[in-house]
Amino acid sequence: MSLEKLNKTQRAAVEATDGPILIFAGAGSGKTRVLTHKMFYLIREELYKPENILSVTFTNKAAKEMKVRVMGLLKTDNLPITIGTFHSVCARLIRVEAKHLDLSPQFAIYDVQDQLDLFKVVLKGLNIPKDTLAPNQARNQISYLKNKMITPSTQARKARTILEKTVVEVYSAYQKALRVNEALDFDDLLLYPLELFDKHPKILAKYQKKWKYILVDEYQDTNRPQFHFLTRLSENNQQICVVGDDDQSIYGWRGADVSNILDFGKFFPSCRIFTLEKNYRSTQQILDAATSVVTHNDRRAKKNLVAANGSGDLLGLFETRDELEEADAIISALEKEIKLNKRTFSDFSVLYRTNAQSRALEDSFRRMGIPYNIVGSIRFYDRKEVKDVLAYLRLVINLRDTISLRRIVNFPPRGIGMKTLDKCVQKADIDKIELFDVLKNAEKLAIRGKKSESLTSFYELIKKYYDLRKKLSANELTRSLIEEAGVLKLFKESTDPVDRERFENVTELLNSIDEFCQKRPDSTLSDFLEEISLLSDIDHWNDSDNRVTLMTVHSSKGLEFPVVFVSGLDDGLFPLYNAMDTKEGLEEERRLFYVALTRAQERVFLLYATNRRRMGGENVLGMPSRFISEIPNEYLERINFQSALTRRVIGGSLQKRTRVMVTRTVTTFDDFKVGDMVEHSIFGAGKIMVLSGTGENQRVGVIFKDGTKKKLIVKYANLSKIS
Partners of 140 in the beta sheet? Answer: none
Chain-centre distance for alpha carbon 150: 26
The angle, 0 to 180 degrees and rounded to 10, between the axes of the packed helices 384-397 and 449-468 is: 70
Q: Which residues have C-beta within 8 Å of that of residue 204, sequence separation ≥ 6?
A: 196, 197, 232, 233
Q: Is 473 exposed, middle or buried (0-12, 13-18, 19+ CB in 10 A)?
A: middle
- Determine whether 31 is an active site residue: yes
> Which position among 353, 451, 557, 599 bears the catalytic label?
599
> Which position among 9, 17, 32, 658 bears the catalytic label?
32
- Determine whether 218 is an active site residue: yes
Closest CA to 406 of 121, 708, 723, 90: 121
- Determine whether 248 is an active site residue: yes
> Which position among 57, 248, 291, 601 bears the catalytic label?
248
CB-CB neighbours of 190 under 10 Å: 25
> Which position among 217, 326, 337, 588 bears the catalytic label?
217
Partners of 351 in the beta sheet? Answer: 551, 566
Backbone angles phi, psi at 241, to 5 degrees: -125, 120
In the chain, how long is the greatest CA-to-CA distance?
84
- Determine whether 217 is an active site residue: yes
Helical residues (DSSP H) of 317-382, grouped into ranges = 323-341, 358-367
Burial 322-361 (b: 16+ CB within 10 A, else e): bbbbbbbbbbbbbbebbeeeebebbbbbbbbbebebbebb
Amino acid at residue number 119:
F
> Which position among 185, 187, 218, 587 bears the catalytic label?
218
The angle, 0 to 180 degrees and rounded to 10, between the axes of the packed helices 497-519 and 384-397 is: 50
Q: Are 111 and 401 in contact (CB under 8 A)?
A: no
- Determine whether 32 is an active site residue: yes
537-544's contacts with Cβ under 8 Å and 24+ in sequence apart are: 537/375, 537/376, 537/379, 538/59, 538/61, 538/375, 539/59, 539/60, 539/61, 540/375, 540/379, 540/380, 541/61, 541/373, 541/375, 542/373, 543/346, 544/346
Residues with catalytic function: 31-32, 217-218, 248, 599
